[in-house]
């Protein structure tokens, strides 16, 4: 990463500029770091655009809309000031390589990676469209290829430029070689326009060639509007994938698939990875190098808070010194999790007859094109309760001094992880110990930051005096790291502590660059502080469940090209595989979530259905589906403390299912927004409450028995792109947003 030049700002808003990332017609993008250590991409608008009041108004509206966009495959907005002398916007920094650069360096993507790319881009577009936006400029340079999947960037900005007085290059909506025909002809655009750009981007990734050749803008727009791309370069693809790309490139918008249909098509095709890096090894190495270069950037130095004149180049920064830290890439896997074949299916449909069923509540945004609807499902329906509740009373608010990376409750101690250390707090958020040197894995922090057993926290990350990457045991009463065990091979990526069986800690992780792509399970003996066994394979995915007893098995999920996914059990004593069950449909997800729980004596896991199986022989006990006319994707299921109820979110809301039968007990959804799982911290259960976040940045406390709302909390400084990290228990709820920590009573009072 090059250092900032003399004409570059030293600070933008609260962010210290570490160096330039790129430039475009609208302005320049810098790598920035907050006082708390958060790394962001800061986009600064060109000064001449800043003088246009029409642009400012539109830019402000688009920033507000872009804040609503969330999901695994976007780069969400974390901060912005459209009213600054020079407007700017900060997004989450994604350590990755532009797709255009990746293909130029390493050639076309292989078919498995291409499928992952197409599905990830389609899911990202679905999130953009659900926020009321049309991207309008999807192209290879606006796609970042990262270890956790593709990320769409610069969403909504092209809409801000439209209508200003600037018409020269860089202020035109869209890119000629990738815009849709209706965009090239200046016709009314709908969200389906972005699907054409998705097809054009996929064509480039599959062939290394732009779909409509090269040339000036007028020539490219003429070809886009009136000619077909050359089909010959796609001949090496299998027919389903080739046909899908060409459907996306249809001239008639009505003939293109919607983003959700693209995802469903890829799911039917299958994907030949179970977990691990989805990219070829050389490209994975490039991304790891990008991540390393940002982690070795210096910490921000104090700068006098005197802002430069908006049009006067500020003083150049002092060349920094470099500090190297331990690093670990974020890598997520693929899992086939739909319905298990065999056994009796006890599907319960949720009907919208009479407008009182789950079908109508909290539904995803539908396409502008109508969908055909079938006959009402014959299975029993369950009424949806509108989710309403008074605002909670904040009992205490604390400034942590740095960005929070994860919260863990251990008895009467709340452990708050920062980027490089941890602090212990009492239940009222007052300091008890710290800081101590410890860093938690990013995937762990959001979903499963660690497990506390007998006063010891077991977590994946870096810690101890040597700051080694591995499994660590921390005394929660003092913060002292008692011992650490490094991952034996030194080249595998630890993800989460999946569970503890007696004296054995089970860890899941991934193997970067492996071909075929693989994951691993690592068992560590806490008495000997040594490895018991490791098991690797393409069928051992990140969906890993360790039930609470040693008699039970470990559940993993996987899948492959041309075949259904499957669920597999592993012997916790040896790692040997046991029974397997196919998972029809080959559904997959790219997430750090477990998407499985143990309830009512069954393994329960989710995909396009919620399925329960017998842990001894894998026989299916029940399956739950919403019965809607489209495929639903369920979030991570969570069992009640007594194991009698399973709580899960989907597009229709939060649903409570009987763990023994799969029958719905209640369902609820907010009147505005959706509880559908995106990038939130997932469901938490404690003190008779189910805690769940919506896409409007509200945290809801729902009565676990009745489904009625008890209270909601909304941080005025938070938006839907910032995950509220939570810990619950002991009659309290703790929520961390950036550097702020709040404490709310379980009663909300």
User: Which residues belong to the annotated binding site for ATP?
Assistant: 43
Give per-residue pLDDT as tens, 535-576: 887 666 556 778 766 456 666 655 443 345 567 788 878 888
Paired sense of beta strands 732-737 and 88-92, if any: unpaired
Any idea of the CA torsion for 270, 274, 280, 286, to the nearest 10 degrees?
130
Among residues 202, 53, 91, 70, the alpha carbon closest in space to that of 133 is found at 70
Residue 175 reports pLDDT greater than 90: no
Q: In this structure, are 83 and 177 located in the same domain?
A: no
Hey, is 178 helix, strand or coil? coil
**Residues 196, 143: one domain?**
yes
Greatest mean pLDDT among 29-38, 276-285, 411-420 lies in 411-420
Does any domain span residue 671?
no
Known active-site residue 137: yes
Contact 83, 57 (CB under 8 A): no
Residues 6+ apart with CB under 8 A from 747: 710, 711, 731
Average pLDDT over the chain reads 75
Using DSSP bridges, classify how beta strands 384-387 and 664-670 pair: parallel, antiparallel or unpaired.
parallel
pLDDT interval class at 246 (50, 70, 90): very high
pLDDT tens readout for residues 154-167: 754 444 334 433 33
Span between the terminal Cα atoms of the chain, in Å: 50
The count of other CB atoms within 10 Å of the CB of residue 515 is: 13
- Convert 689-721 to b/e letters by CB count within 10 Å (16 or more is b): bbbbbbbebbbbbbebeebebbbbbebeebbbb
> Same domain for 247 and 285?
yes
Which residue in 137, 194, 265, 632 is the catalytic one?
137
Integer-rounded Cα radius of gyration of the chain: 25
Tell me the mean pLDDT in the region 79-97: 88
In degrees and rounded to multiples of 5, residue 501 shows phi and psi of: -120, 105
Q: Are residue 79 and residue 106 in the same domain, yes or no?
A: no
- Which CATH number covers residue 119? 1.10.510.10
**Which of 269, 298, 327 is at the close of a domain?**
298
104 lies in the same domain as 233: yes
Of 12-16, 437-441, 529-533, the least confident: 437-441
Q: Cα dist. 279→471, 508, 535 in Å?
A: 26, 20, 22
Question: Is beta strand 577-583 parallel, antiparallel or unpaired with respect to 481-486?
Answer: unpaired
* Residues 413-449: b if buried by 16+ CB within 10 A, e if exposed: bbbbbbbbbbbbbebebeebbbbbbbbbbbbbbbbbb
Q: Are residues 151 and 265 in the same domain?
A: yes
Q: Is the C-alpha dihedral spanning 664, 668, 673, 677 positive or negative?
A: negative
142 in the same domain as 21: no
| Residue 319 confidence (pLDDT) | 33
Q: CA 402 to CA 741: how far, in whole Å? A: 11
- Looking at per-residue pLDDT, the higher value among 464 and 335 belongs to 464
State the pLDDT at residue 194.
94
pLDDT at 335 over 60: no
Asked whether residue 62 is domain-assigned, the answer is yes
522-535 average pLDDT score: 90
Q: Is residue 266 part of a domain?
A: yes
CATH of the domain at 58: 3.30.200.20
Q: Is 678 exposed, middle or buried (0-12, 13-18, 19+ CB in 10 A)?
A: buried
Strand order in the sheet with 77-81: 11-12, 15-23, 27-33, 39-45, 88-92, 77-81
Mean predicted confidence (pLDDT) in 279-304: 67
Q: How many Cα atoms sit within 13 Å of 580 on the Cβ side?
A: 14
- The pairing of strands 602-606 and 596-599 is antiparallel
Task: Say how many C-beta atoms besides its own lie within 10 A of residue 577's C-beta.
Answer: 17
Q: Does any domain span residue 70? A: yes
The model's confidence at residue 697, banded by pLDDT at 50, 70 and 90, is confident
Which two tokens mark 714? 């909304």
Average pLDDT for 47-65: 76
Which stretch of DSSP H or E encloses residue 599?
Answer: strand 596-599
Q: Give SS3 for 362.
A: coil
Select from 93, 116, 138 the last residue of a domain.
93
What residues make up the domain containing 267?
A: 96-163+170-298
Report the candidate in 706, 710, 590 with the shortest Cα–Cα distance to residue 279: 590
Q: What ranges in 13-161 are assigned the alpha helix state H?
A: 47-50, 53-66, 99-106, 111-130, 157-161
List binding-site positions.
Answer: 43
Neighbours of 614 (CB within 10 A): 15
Contact indicator for 143, 119 with CB cutoff of 8 Å? no
What percentage of the chain reaches a pLDDT higher than 90? Answer: 28
Residue 57, phi then psi, degrees to nearest 5: -65, -45
**Residue 381 near residue 353 (C-beta atoms within 8 A):** yes
**Once rounded to an integer, what is the mean pLDDT over residues 617-641?**
80
Is 519 a residue whose pLDDT tops 50? yes
Q: Which of 93, 119, 134 is the last residue of a domain?
A: 93
Contact (Cβ atoms closer than 8 angstroms) between residue 48 and residue 59: no
Q: What is the pLDDT of residue 118?
A: 95
CA distances from 97 to 26, 38, 101 (A): 21, 20, 7
Q: What is the pLDDT of residue 385?
A: 87
Number of domains in the chain: 2
- Considering the domain architecture, whether residues 120 and 100 belong to the same structural domain is answered as yes
């Amino acid at each position: 990463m090059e250092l900032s030049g003399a004409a570059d700002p030293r600070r933008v808003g609260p962010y210290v500029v570490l160096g330039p990332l790129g430039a475009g017609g609208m302005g320049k993008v810098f790598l920035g770091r907050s006082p708390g250590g958060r790394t962001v991409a800061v986009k600064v608008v060109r000064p001449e655009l800043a003088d246009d009041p029409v642009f400012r108004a539109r830019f402000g509206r688009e920033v507000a809309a872009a804040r609503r966009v969330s999901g695994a495959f976007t780069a969400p907005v974390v901060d912005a000031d459209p009213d600054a002398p020079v407007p700017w916007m900060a997004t989450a920094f994604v350590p990755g390589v532009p797709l255009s650069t990746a293909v130029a360096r390493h050639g076309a993507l292989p078919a498995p990676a291409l499928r992952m790319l197409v599905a990830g881009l389609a899911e990202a577009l679905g999130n953009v469209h659900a926020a009321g936006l049309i991207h309008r400029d999807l192209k290879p340079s606006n796609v970042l290829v990262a270890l956790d999947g593709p990320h769409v960037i610069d969403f909504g900005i092209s809409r801000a430029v439209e209508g200003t007085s600037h018409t020269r290059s860089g202020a035109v909506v869209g890119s000629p070689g990738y815009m849709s025909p209706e965009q090239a002809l200046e016709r009314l655009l709908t969200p389906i326009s972005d699907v054409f750009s998705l097809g054009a981007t996929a064509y480039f990734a599959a062939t290394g060639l732009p779909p409509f050749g090269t040339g000036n803008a007028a020539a490219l727009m003429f070809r886009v509007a009136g000619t077909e791309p050359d089909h010959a370069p796609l001949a090496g693809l299998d027919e389903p994938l080739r046909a899908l790309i060409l459907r996306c490139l249809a001239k008639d918008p009505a003939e293109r698939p919607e983003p959700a249909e693209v995802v469903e098509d890829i799911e039917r095709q299958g994907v030949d990875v179970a977990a691990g890096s989805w990219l070829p090894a050389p490209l994975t190495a490039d991304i790891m190098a990008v991540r390393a270069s940002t982690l070795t950037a210096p910490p921000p130095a104090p700068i006098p808070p005197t802002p430069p004149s908006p049009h006067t180049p500020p003083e150049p920064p002092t060349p920094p010194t470099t500090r190297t830290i331990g690093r670990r890439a974020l890598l997520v896997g693929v899992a086939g999790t739909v319905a298990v074949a065999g056994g009796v299916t006890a599907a319960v449909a949720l009907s919208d007859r009479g407008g009182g069923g789950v079908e109508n509540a909290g539904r995803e945004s539908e396409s502008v094109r109508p969908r055909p609807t079938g006959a009402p499902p014959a299975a029993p329906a369950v009424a949806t309760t509108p989710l309403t509740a008074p605002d909670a009373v904040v009992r205490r608010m604390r400034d942590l001094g740095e960005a929070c990376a994860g919260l863990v409750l251990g008895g009467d101690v709340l452990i708050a992880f920062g980027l490089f250390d941890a602090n212990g707090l009492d239940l009222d958020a007052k300091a008890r110990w710290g800081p101590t040197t410890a860093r938690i894995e990013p995937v762990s922090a959001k979903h499963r930051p660690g497990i506390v057993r007998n006063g010891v926290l077991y977590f994946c990350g870096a810690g101890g005096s040597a700051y080694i990457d591995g499994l660590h045991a921390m005394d929660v009463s003092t913060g002292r790291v008692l011992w650490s065990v490094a991952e034996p091979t030194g080249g595998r990526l630890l993800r989460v502590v999946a569970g503890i069986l007696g004296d054995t800690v089970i860890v899941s992780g991934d193997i970067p660059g492996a071909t075929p792509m693989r994951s691993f399970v690592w068992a560590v003996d806490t008495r000997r502080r040594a490895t018991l066994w490791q098991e690797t394979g393409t069928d051992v995915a990140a969906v890993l469940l360790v039930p609470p007893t040693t008699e039970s098995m470990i559940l993993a999920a996987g899948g492959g090209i041309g075949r259904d996914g499957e669920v597999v059990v592993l012997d916790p004593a040896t790692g040997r595989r046991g029974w397997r069950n196919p998972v029809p449909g080959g559904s997959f997800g790219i997430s750090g979530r477990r998407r499985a729980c143990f309830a009512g004596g069954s393994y329960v896991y989710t995909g396009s259905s919620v399925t329960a199986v017998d842990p001894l022989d894998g026989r299916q006990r029940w399956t739950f589906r919403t019965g809607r006319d489209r495929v639903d994707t369920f979030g991570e299921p969570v069992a009640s403390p007594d194991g009698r109820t399973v709580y899960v979110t989907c597009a229709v809301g939060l649903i409570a299912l009987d763990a023994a039968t799969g029958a719905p007990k209640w369902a609820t959804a907010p009147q505005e927004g959706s509880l559908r799982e995106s990038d939130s911290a997932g469901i938490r259960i404690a003190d008779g409450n189910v805690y769940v976040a919506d896409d409007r940045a509200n945290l809801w406390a729902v009565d676990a028995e009745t489904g009625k709302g008890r209270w909601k909390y909304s941080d005025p400084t938070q938006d839907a792109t910032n995950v509220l990290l939570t810990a619950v228990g002991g009659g309290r709820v703790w929520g961390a947003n950036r550097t702020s920590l709040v404490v709310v009573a379980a009663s909300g009072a």
